[in-house]
Structure 1
Amino acid sequence: MANPAPAETLPSGLRPGEPATSLIDDTPVTGFHRRLTAFCSGGPFLDGFALGVVGLALPQIARQWQLSGLWQGALAAAALLGILVGGLVFGYVTDLVGRKVMYSLNIAAIAVCAAAQFFVTGPEQLLVLRVLLGVTIGADYPIASSLLAEFAPRRSRPRLIGLQTIMWSAGNATAYLVGDALLRLGPDAWRWILVSPAVPALALAFLRAGTPESPRWLLSKGRTDEALRVMRKVYGPGARLDGIESRPAATKFRQVFQGVYLRRTLFVAVFWTCSVTPVYALYSFAPTLLDALGIDTVGGTETENLGSVAIGLLLLAGTVVATLVAGRVRRRTLLILPFAVASASLLALGLVPETSVGAVVVLLGVYALFIGGPTILQWIYPNEIYPTEIRATAFGVGVATSRVGAVLGTFVVPLLLAGVGVSATMLVVGAISAVGAVVSALLAPETHGHTLDEAARDG
């Protein structure tokens, strides 16, 4: 007897007619997922890029326009304010009108706002454009992350979403490399520096064209036929909608603050803000903090800038390690234990500020490596613990609250250093971090191994 022909399989690995708990959740990672992850990463990359270049451009702008310290601070903070507004407003809009429309239009808006900075003639115009640029960047966070989360398989979801945080660091590093090269163009180099994010934004707008709508979002709006067409386009002609939540539901902003979702929103807001505040402080004031902690010279060689680079690399390494293990470790384990260790490191620096250079380096290194877990979960948790109809809305609320932490880290830290010294400053940021660890222990849900619908279910 001839051996039977091997059974045909779908791209998901399932056989035709075989019941599936959820094709989206159980399929292996494909080229489609990899492309979508890369294109969604553009938002955080542009965030790190755009925030990084303004620091290099401001000294030239200040000299050319004779800007006061107040104006310089306003221009530096403008994009952060815009990100707050963009996340809060356009997360909700994305849940109303869909991921696909916003995904394509928003990245083009980033390119336009960045390019327009080249033509400004005064600080007022630049301030407006920096705010608008921040709005477009802030909008892309909930748009792209919700689209990625709704296509990502459950086992790979934390790794694919966690990669977004790595791209912020990559964008920030790229900004310094590009800005340093462009500074050689002369007194108007700042115009080319500020316009430089338009280049990757334009490329990304082209690459994102043709990305399909989220089937989960289509089902949440009762558009079953369209959802099935998308599934078959992405996963093959035998794809079905089995196992995907298909209950149509209205998008209501207030739902983020009602019932079980109020508890989850409180958790996201507090843990995100408390984890991001010390990170922004270190990114923004690493040389000042290192100098205050006694790491200014070693053997007569200036090391502040080297120390800043080292901190940045360790923060990046922490997110890389956390991303690699995220699919294998329970969410609460990846969040609470590293958060506690990172907080203890900061508090130790405040309690023993006169310790040896070696001890300072070790404590800062421990903090930078361990905060990687909470950092990637800033993106993972908000996408997992809310249903499709308010997923982008909730993520936008998280983005908005996290910008409060960014402002604290950027502008309050230098005031603390000048007013109360480095010991008290480290105790303050350590205490903020510790609050996040405690709230995480009390409120963080466990979503490891769950489908997206299971993780978002409201009890």
Structure 2
Amino acid sequence: MTTNTVSIEDVPLNRFHQWLTVRSGGGSFVDGYVLSIIGVAMVQMTAGLSLDSFWQGMIAASALIGIFFGGFLGGWLTDRFGRKRVFFVGPTLFILASLSQFWVESAMALFLLRFVVGVAVGIEYPVATSLLVEFLPKRNRGPRLATLTILWFAGAAFAYMLGDFLLRQGGDDAWRLVLASPALIGALLFVVRIGTPESPRWLLSKGRAEQADAVIRSVYGNDFSLRNLPEEPEQQTLSFRSLLHSGYGKRMMFVAVFWSCSVIPVFAVYAFAPKVLGALNLKGDWASFGSVAITLLFVVGCIIATRLINGMGRRSMLIHSFLWSGLALLGLGVFHAGAEWLILALFGAYALFIGGAQVLQLVYPNELFPTEIRANAVGVGTSLSRVGAAIGTWLVPIVLDRYGIAFTMYAAAAVTLLGLVVSWALAPETRSLNLQQAASLS
């Protein structure tokens, strides 16, 4: 009898990988939906709850604040208790918090519920991505993780389309139905995830070799076993402080900064899309068309980046993404009073080019850290990236009112070009490496 020595990272994609992508990617779809739906409901919700600029900004930023705490919590829970158990926490919170928003009567109550939604989103990032990456073949790792970002923008696009439909059909209180609508998607996600196995890499890191071997055989067949796993993690538990002092501090800084610079302008746009487009002289049907068109172009940009990620490489893609998207934002600042077609063209260029940085948000942190601290590192990156995003989102209505749209676009361009500088200095290349090689400091 011959021994199968093929690494599980070199096997072809099978039905399990496809289904796991759906299970993990469903979380990204819900994340994009719940974080974008607030922008759809904002105008009607502001009138319904008599919100001033302060509370508009706080409610828009509340989910991002929740992501800060949820990222830390999700990373710790996922590395401590396993991927499988934590996989159901996010959908449960999505359902409960979204339904509760239907009956909300005050700005503070809505802020707190949106905060819980953010916690759920923060938990999703480390658990869904670490579980997926620890099963994927090497050559499919980048494209599949990038697909999760595409699904995020698909969820955002769906939020704008369905939300706009509900607002047109539902009367003055339709915003309540709009904010409650993610509960149905969360319920579907919960059902889809039933039957997901635990990560054999995590099981092995906890000394549960027999269970890890059983999972490998069930997924890849009886010809495979622990011998086909290309790494044997040591049994250890690292805290956040240990993470920074274990040689991975520089990588953590790179992930946090590039992730922050890629999400701050995006979240600001999504939270206040109608207001931003209105300040750029896009109103009425132009604003509605622009919101959907720009969101779809984000999806197209991510699809293009997904196709190029293995051939172009991670580092080159990130640098070009920040460069050209930053120039597009500069153009919006310079030509803020331009014709509608020019504004849409520049916004469209930003949406297309930022796709590279967007898809790498989930690729880099999952590749740069070992199994023992992978989810924790992803959670920390998620949390730190949302600090700036929350502050930026809160400031958008204030800055627009006080300094105007040109200054707002220049500020967004400065953030994006900072990402370019940091990526040029620190971004590594991890394509064609297995997880153990990519995470190695040597």
Is 1:281 aligned to 2:268, yes or no? yes
Paired amino acid for 2:74: F
- Given the superposition, is the C-alpha separation of residues 446 and 86 from structure 1 closer, same or farther in structure 2, using an over 3 Å criterion? same
1:310-341, Cα deviation, whole Å (9 max, x unpaired): 32222221111101222322111111122222
SS of the residue 1:238 aligns to: coil
Q: Distance in 1 between matches of 2:208 and 2:222?
A: 19
- Given the superposition, is the C-alpha separation of residues 359 and 68 from structure 1 closer, same or farther in structure 2, using an over 3 Å criterion? closer
Q: CA deviation at 1:441?
A: 1.1
Is 1:141 aligned to 2:128, yes or no? no
The aligned residue for residue 194 of structure 2 is 209
Q: Distance in 1 between matches of 2:145 and 2:64?
A: 22
Which residue of 130, 133, 143 maps to 1:159?
A: 143
Which consecutive residues of structure 2, in runs of 5 or more, have no partner in the other structure? none
Paired amino acid for 1:304: A
- Given the superposition, is the C-alpha separation of residues 70 and 350 from structure 1 closer, same or farther in structure 2, using an over 3 Å criterion? closer
Is 1:390 aligned to 2:376, yes or no? no
Is 1:99 aligned to 2:86, yes or no? no
- Given the superposition, is the C-alpha separation of residues 134 and 437 from structure 1 closer, same or farther in structure 2, using an over 3 Å criterion? same
Once superposed, what is the RMSD of the aligned Cα atoms?
2.4
**Map of 1:126-205 to 2, 5 A cutoff?**
126-183=110-167, 184-205=169-190
Which residue of 231, 239, 251 maps to 1:245?
A: 231
- Given the superposition, is the C-alpha separation of residues 247 and 55 from structure 1 closer, same or farther in structure 2, using an over 3 Å criterion? closer
The aligned residue for residue 224 of structure 1 is 209
Segment of structure 1 superposing worse, 221-230 or 403-412: 403-412
- Given the superposition, is the C-alpha separation of residues 72 and 345 from structure 1 closer, same or farther in structure 2, using an over 3 Å criterion? closer
Q: Is residue 49–residue 105 contact of structure 2 (8 Å, CA) maintained in 1? A: no
Paired amino acid for 1:154: K
Q: Is residue 346–residue 429 contact of structure 1 (8 Å, CA) maintained in 2? A: yes
The aligned residue for residue 11 of structure 1 is none
Which residue of 254, 257, 262 maps to 2:244?
A: 257
Q: CA deviation at 1:394?
A: 0.7
Segment of structure 1 superposing worse, 70-79 or 45-54: 70-79
Is 1:31 aligned to 2:15, yes or no? yes
Q: CA deviation at 1:78?
A: 1.9
SS of the residue 2:310 aligns to: coil
| Structure ID, larger Rg | 1
Q: Distance in 2 between matches of 1:275 and 1:79?
A: 17
**Map of 1:50-449 to 2, 5 A cutoff?**
50-183=34-167, 184-242=169-227, 243-253=229-239, 254-290=241-277, 292-293=279-280, 296=282, 303-351=286-334, 360-449=343-432
Q: CA deviation at 1:70?
A: 3.2
Segment of structure 1 superposing worse, 101-110 or 67-76: 67-76
1:374-405, Cα deviation, whole Å (9 max, x unpaired): 11001100000001111111111111122123
Name the count of aligned residue pairs.
439
Q: Distance in 2 between matches of 1:173 and 1:349?
A: 22
Q: Is residue 102–residue 179 contact of structure 2 (8 Å, CA) maintained in 1? A: yes
Q: Distance in 2 between matches of 1:177 and 1:362?
A: 21
Q: Distance in 2 between matches of 1:73 and 1:261?
A: 35
Q: Distance in 2 between matches of 1:358 and 1:214?
A: 49
Q: CA deviation at 1:165?
A: 0.9
Q: Distance in 2 between matches of 1:194 and 1:296?
A: 25
Q: CA deviation at 1:202?
A: 1.0
- Given the superposition, is the C-alpha separation of residues 344 and 119 from structure 1 closer, same or farther in structure 2, using an over 3 Å criterion? closer
Q: CA deviation at 1:111?
A: 1.6
Q: Distance in 2 between matches of 1:122 and 1:274?
A: 32
Q: Is residue 57–residue 393 contact of structure 2 (8 Å, CA) maintained in 1? A: no
The aligned residue for residue 5 of structure 1 is none
Segment of structure 1 superposing worse, 352-361 or 35-44: 352-361
SS of the residue 1:151 aligns to: coil
Q: Distance in 1 between matches of 2:278 and 2:47?
A: 26
The aligned residue for residue 4 of structure 1 is none
1:140-160, Cα deviation, whole Å (9 max, x unpaired): 111111100111111011111
Q: CA deviation at 1:168?
A: 1.4
Q: CA deviation at 1:351?
A: 4.8
Which consecutive residues of structure 1, in runs of 5 or more, have no partner in the other structure? 1-14
Q: Distance in 1 between matches of 2:430 and 2:300?
A: 24
Q: CA deviation at 1:430?
A: 1.4
What fraction of aligned residue pairs are identical, expressed as a percent? 44
Q: Distance in 1 between matches of 2:177 and 2:340?
A: 40
1:185-208, Cα deviation, whole Å (9 max, x unpaired): 344433332221111111111111
Q: CA deviation at 1:35?
A: 0.8
SS of the residue 2:312 aligns to: coil
Paired amino acid for 2:230: I
Q: Is residue 4–residue 224 contact of structure 2 (8 Å, CA) maintained in 1? A: no
Q: Distance in 1 between matches of 2:404 and 2:13?
A: 50
SS of the residue 1:206 aligns to: helix
Q: Whose relative contact order is higher, 1 or 2, with alpha carbons under 8 Å and at least 6 apart? A: 2
The aligned residue for residue 434 of structure 2 is 451
Q: CA deviation at 1:43?
A: 1.7
Q: Distance in 1 between matches of 2:407 and 2:39?
A: 27
Q: CA deviation at 1:114?
A: 2.0
Q: Distance in 1 between matches of 2:45 and 2:346?
A: 37
The aligned residue for residue 41 of structure 1 is 25
